[in-house]
Protein backbone atom coordinates (compact mmCIF):
# COMPACT_ATOMS: atom_id res chain seq x y z
CA UNK A 1 0.00 0.00 0.00
CA UNK A 2 1.47 3.39 -1.00
CA UNK A 3 2.47 5.81 1.76
CA UNK A 4 0.17 8.80 1.33
CA UNK A 5 0.73 11.98 3.23
CA UNK A 6 -2.37 13.57 4.72
CA UNK A 7 -3.94 16.57 3.08
CA UNK A 8 -2.24 19.63 4.68
CA UNK A 9 -5.11 22.02 3.86
CA UNK A 10 -7.24 21.34 6.99
CA UNK A 11 -4.17 21.83 9.20
CA UNK A 12 -3.24 24.99 7.32
CA UNK A 13 -6.76 26.37 7.81
CA UNK A 14 -6.65 25.51 11.53
CA UNK A 15 -3.34 27.33 11.93
CA UNK A 16 -4.67 30.42 10.12
CA UNK A 17 -7.80 30.46 12.29
CA UNK A 18 -5.73 30.10 15.46
CA UNK A 19 -3.44 32.97 14.45
CA UNK A 20 -6.41 35.21 13.64
CA UNK A 21 -8.10 34.44 16.97
CA UNK A 22 -4.95 35.36 18.85
CA UNK A 23 -4.29 38.49 16.81
CA UNK A 24 -1.10 37.04 15.38
CA UNK A 25 -2.06 36.81 11.72
CA UNK A 26 -0.62 40.21 10.84
CA UNK A 27 2.62 39.58 12.71
CA UNK A 28 3.06 36.15 11.14
CA UNK A 29 2.39 37.55 7.67
CA UNK A 30 4.84 40.41 8.24
CA UNK A 31 7.55 38.01 9.43
CA UNK A 32 7.00 35.78 6.41
CA UNK A 33 7.11 38.74 3.98
CA UNK A 34 10.27 40.17 5.59
CA UNK A 35 12.05 36.80 5.55
CA UNK A 36 11.10 36.20 1.91
CA UNK A 37 12.18 39.68 0.82
CA UNK A 38 15.51 39.42 2.64
CA UNK A 39 16.16 36.11 0.88
CA UNK A 40 15.34 37.65 -2.52
CA UNK A 41 17.48 40.75 -1.94
CA UNK A 42 20.77 38.86 -1.48
CA UNK A 43 22.29 41.76 0.46
CA UNK A 44 21.38 44.49 -2.03
CA UNK A 45 18.83 45.84 0.44
CA UNK A 46 17.20 44.78 3.70
CA UNK A 47 13.51 44.68 4.51
CA UNK A 48 12.93 46.23 7.93
CA UNK A 49 9.15 46.62 8.22
CA UNK A 50 5.95 45.40 6.60
CA UNK A 51 2.64 46.89 7.64
CA UNK A 52 -0.66 47.47 5.83
CA UNK A 53 0.85 46.53 2.48
CA UNK A 54 3.80 48.92 2.80
CA UNK A 55 7.27 47.41 2.77
CA UNK A 56 10.14 49.51 4.14
CA UNK A 57 13.63 48.71 2.94
CA UNK A 58 17.06 50.12 3.65
CA UNK A 59 19.99 50.03 1.22
CA UNK A 60 22.61 47.32 1.39
CA UNK A 61 25.01 47.19 -1.53
CA UNK A 62 22.73 49.24 -3.82
CA UNK A 63 22.51 53.05 -3.57
CA UNK A 64 19.21 54.65 -2.52
CA UNK A 65 18.61 56.22 -5.93
CA UNK A 66 18.93 52.88 -7.68
CA UNK A 67 16.48 51.32 -5.21
CA UNK A 68 14.03 54.16 -5.83
CA UNK A 69 14.16 53.46 -9.56
CA UNK A 70 13.67 49.71 -9.07
CA UNK A 71 10.71 49.84 -6.65
CA UNK A 72 8.01 48.74 -9.06
CA UNK A 73 10.12 45.91 -10.48
CA UNK A 74 11.00 44.78 -6.95
CA UNK A 75 7.34 44.91 -5.89
CA UNK A 76 6.33 42.72 -8.82
CA UNK A 77 9.13 40.21 -8.15
CA UNK A 78 8.37 40.06 -4.42
CA UNK A 79 4.62 39.55 -4.92
CA UNK A 80 5.29 36.86 -7.53
CA UNK A 81 7.55 35.01 -5.06
CA UNK A 82 4.93 35.40 -2.29
CA UNK A 83 2.17 34.12 -4.57
CA UNK A 84 -0.15 37.04 -3.77
CA UNK A 85 -0.14 40.83 -4.02
CA UNK A 86 0.78 41.50 -0.40
CA UNK A 87 3.17 44.39 -1.10
CA UNK A 88 1.31 47.42 -2.44
CA UNK A 89 4.02 50.02 -1.86
CA UNK A 90 7.76 50.05 -1.21
CA UNK A 91 9.35 52.78 0.84
CA UNK A 92 13.13 53.23 0.70
CA UNK A 93 14.52 54.62 3.92
CA UNK A 94 17.98 56.15 4.09
CA UNK A 95 20.18 54.97 6.92
Going by pLDDT thresholds of 50, 70 and 90, the confidence category of residue 78 is: very high
Give the pLDDT confidence score for residue 17 in this predicted structure: 80
Give the pLDDT confidence score for residue 4 in this predicted structure: 61
Alpha-carbon gap, residue 19 to 17, rounded angstroms? 5
pTM of the model: 0.77
Domain range summary for the chain, segments of one domain joined by +? 26-92
10-66 confidence digits (pLDDT tens):
877 777 787 778 777 788 889 999 999 999 999 999 999 999 999 999 999 999 999
For 43, the 3-state DSSP assignment is coil
CATH classification (class only), 26-92: alpha beta
Strand partners, 92: 57
Amino acid sequence: MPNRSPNPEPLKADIHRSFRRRGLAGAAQAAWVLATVNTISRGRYSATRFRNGELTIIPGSLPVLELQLMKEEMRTTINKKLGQDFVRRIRVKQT
